[in-house]
Amino acid sequence: MTKNIAKDFQQPLTRIEGKEEWKVKIYANLKRMREYISKNNTRLEEEKLIQDKLHRKLNESKQKTFGWMKKQAEEARLDEILPQESNQKKSAGSIGKTMVLNSTYLVSKEDRENFARVVRFLEKEYKSMGLSFESTGPKVPYNFLSAK
Protein backbone atom coordinates (compact mmCIF):
# COMPACT_ATOMS: atom_id res chain seq x y z
CA MET A 1 0.00 0.00 0.00
CA THR A 2 2.87 2.38 0.78
CA LYS A 3 4.25 1.80 -2.73
CA ASN A 4 0.92 2.88 -4.27
CA ILE A 5 0.85 6.11 -2.25
CA ALA A 6 4.44 6.90 -3.21
CA LYS A 7 3.64 6.18 -6.86
CA ASP A 8 0.56 8.45 -6.73
CA PHE A 9 2.73 11.35 -5.56
CA GLN A 10 5.67 10.58 -7.84
CA GLN A 11 3.68 10.69 -11.13
CA PRO A 12 2.60 14.34 -10.83
CA LEU A 13 6.13 15.36 -9.81
CA THR A 14 7.58 13.60 -12.85
CA ARG A 15 5.07 15.39 -15.09
CA ILE A 16 6.21 18.85 -13.96
CA GLU A 17 9.94 18.12 -13.76
CA GLY A 18 11.93 20.62 -15.84
CA LYS A 19 8.88 22.83 -16.36
CA GLU A 20 7.72 26.15 -15.03
CA GLU A 21 4.43 27.96 -14.74
CA TRP A 22 3.54 31.17 -16.56
CA LYS A 23 0.38 33.18 -16.05
CA VAL A 24 -1.03 35.44 -18.76
CA LYS A 25 -3.87 37.88 -18.30
CA ILE A 26 -5.39 39.84 -21.15
CA TYR A 27 -7.16 43.13 -20.51
CA ALA A 28 -9.35 45.05 -22.91
CA ASN A 29 -9.80 48.79 -23.00
CA LEU A 30 -13.42 48.54 -24.14
CA LYS A 31 -13.64 52.22 -25.16
CA ARG A 32 -10.59 51.87 -27.40
CA MET A 33 -11.82 48.56 -28.79
CA ARG A 34 -15.23 50.08 -29.56
CA GLU A 35 -13.49 52.97 -31.39
CA TYR A 36 -11.40 50.46 -33.35
CA ILE A 37 -14.51 48.55 -34.43
CA SER A 38 -16.43 51.72 -35.31
CA LYS A 39 -13.47 53.11 -37.29
CA ASN A 40 -13.12 49.91 -39.30
CA ASN A 41 -16.78 49.74 -40.28
CA THR A 42 -17.54 51.15 -43.71
CA ARG A 43 -21.04 52.27 -42.73
CA LEU A 44 -22.64 53.58 -39.60
CA GLU A 45 -24.26 50.89 -37.55
CA GLU A 46 -26.67 50.86 -34.69
CA GLU A 47 -25.22 50.76 -31.19
CA LYS A 48 -26.50 47.19 -30.71
CA LEU A 49 -24.61 45.96 -33.78
CA ILE A 50 -21.41 47.63 -32.60
CA GLN A 51 -21.87 46.05 -29.15
CA ASP A 52 -22.43 42.63 -30.77
CA LYS A 53 -19.28 43.06 -32.85
CA LEU A 54 -17.37 44.09 -29.73
CA HIS A 55 -18.37 40.90 -27.91
CA ARG A 56 -17.59 38.74 -30.96
CA LYS A 57 -14.20 40.43 -31.38
CA LEU A 58 -13.37 39.96 -27.69
CA ASN A 59 -14.31 36.28 -27.85
CA GLU A 60 -12.40 35.73 -31.09
CA SER A 61 -9.30 37.43 -29.67
CA LYS A 62 -9.52 35.43 -26.46
CA GLN A 63 -9.80 32.09 -28.28
CA LYS A 64 -7.07 32.90 -30.80
CA THR A 65 -4.53 34.14 -28.25
CA PHE A 66 -5.20 31.27 -25.83
CA GLY A 67 -4.75 28.82 -28.71
CA TRP A 68 -1.42 30.34 -29.78
CA MET A 69 -0.03 30.30 -26.25
CA LYS A 70 -1.37 26.80 -25.60
CA LYS A 71 0.60 25.48 -28.60
CA GLN A 72 3.80 26.70 -26.92
CA ALA A 73 3.02 25.03 -23.59
CA GLU A 74 2.96 21.45 -22.32
CA GLU A 75 -0.42 22.12 -20.71
CA ALA A 76 -2.69 25.10 -20.41
CA ARG A 77 -5.70 26.01 -18.34
CA LEU A 78 -8.19 28.80 -18.15
CA ASP A 79 -8.33 29.99 -14.58
CA GLU A 80 -11.32 32.24 -14.56
CA ILE A 81 -12.70 34.69 -17.01
CA LEU A 82 -14.24 37.70 -15.39
CA PRO A 83 -16.33 39.60 -17.91
CA GLN A 84 -17.29 42.47 -15.63
CA GLU A 85 -14.74 45.05 -14.60
CA SER A 86 -16.38 45.61 -11.20
CA ASN A 87 -15.66 42.00 -10.08
CA GLN A 88 -11.94 42.21 -10.65
CA LYS A 89 -8.96 42.98 -8.51
CA LYS A 90 -6.95 45.74 -10.13
CA SER A 91 -3.27 45.45 -10.85
CA ALA A 92 -1.30 48.60 -11.60
CA GLY A 93 -1.49 48.19 -15.38
CA SER A 94 -5.12 47.14 -15.55
CA ILE A 95 -6.98 50.16 -14.19
CA GLY A 96 -9.81 51.16 -16.52
CA LYS A 97 -9.67 47.86 -18.38
CA THR A 98 -11.70 44.66 -18.35
CA MET A 99 -10.01 41.27 -17.95
CA VAL A 100 -11.00 39.00 -20.83
CA LEU A 101 -8.59 36.12 -20.22
CA ASN A 102 -6.86 34.70 -17.16
CA SER A 103 -4.79 31.64 -18.05
CA THR A 104 -1.91 29.54 -16.78
CA TYR A 105 0.62 27.58 -18.84
CA LEU A 106 3.05 24.78 -18.07
CA VAL A 107 6.14 25.52 -20.15
CA SER A 108 9.35 23.54 -20.38
CA LYS A 109 12.44 25.55 -19.45
CA GLU A 110 13.76 25.06 -22.99
CA ASP A 111 10.59 26.62 -24.47
CA ARG A 112 10.51 29.59 -22.11
CA GLU A 113 11.82 32.06 -24.70
CA ASN A 114 9.48 30.77 -27.43
CA PHE A 115 6.51 31.21 -25.10
CA ALA A 116 7.59 34.74 -24.15
CA ARG A 117 8.11 35.55 -27.85
CA VAL A 118 4.54 34.44 -28.68
CA VAL A 119 3.12 36.58 -25.87
CA ARG A 120 5.11 39.63 -27.11
CA PHE A 121 3.96 39.01 -30.69
CA LEU A 122 0.30 38.76 -29.65
CA GLU A 123 0.61 41.91 -27.56
CA LYS A 124 1.91 43.86 -30.59
CA GLU A 125 -0.72 42.28 -32.85
CA TYR A 126 -3.67 43.29 -30.65
CA LYS A 127 -2.40 46.57 -29.15
CA SER A 128 -4.15 48.76 -31.73
CA MET A 129 -7.40 46.99 -30.91
CA GLY A 130 -7.15 47.93 -27.22
CA LEU A 131 -5.87 44.66 -25.73
CA SER A 132 -2.96 44.54 -23.31
CA PHE A 133 -1.16 41.51 -21.89
CA GLU A 134 0.22 40.92 -18.42
CA SER A 135 2.59 37.96 -18.19
CA THR A 136 4.22 36.65 -15.02
CA GLY A 137 6.67 33.84 -14.58
CA PRO A 138 8.54 31.66 -14.28
CA LYS A 139 6.93 30.25 -11.16
CA VAL A 140 6.87 26.86 -9.50
CA PRO A 141 4.15 24.91 -11.40
CA TYR A 142 1.83 24.49 -8.44
CA ASN A 143 -1.36 24.86 -10.52
CA PHE A 144 -0.42 21.71 -12.43
CA LEU A 145 0.43 19.61 -9.39
CA SER A 146 -2.28 17.34 -8.05
CA ALA A 147 -2.30 13.78 -6.76
CA LYS A 148 -4.63 11.65 -8.89
Please give the tally of structural domains in the chain. Answer: 1
Buried b (16+ CB within 10 A) or exposed e, 38-49: eeeeeeeeeeee
Residue 132, in any domain of the structure: yes
Instruction: Assign residue 61 the CATH number of its domain.
Output: 3.30.70
Question: Which residues does 78 contact at the CB level (< 8 Å), separation at least 6?
Answer: 66, 101, 102, 103
Residue 97, in any domain of the structure: yes
Residue type, 121: F
Residue 2, in any domain of the structure: no
Give 23-76 pLDDT, tens digit per residue: 999 999 988 888 887 776 655 556 667 778 888 888 888 889 999 899 988 888
Establish whether the linkage from the previous residue to 12 is cis, with ω within 30° of 0.
no
The pTM (predicted TM-score) of the whole model is: 0.71
Residue 54, in any domain of the structure: yes
Give 95-147 pLDDT, tens digit per residue: 568 888 899 999 999 999 999 999 999 999 999 989 999 999 888 887 776 64
Residue 102, in any domain of the structure: yes
How many CA within 13 A on the CB side of residue 111? 19
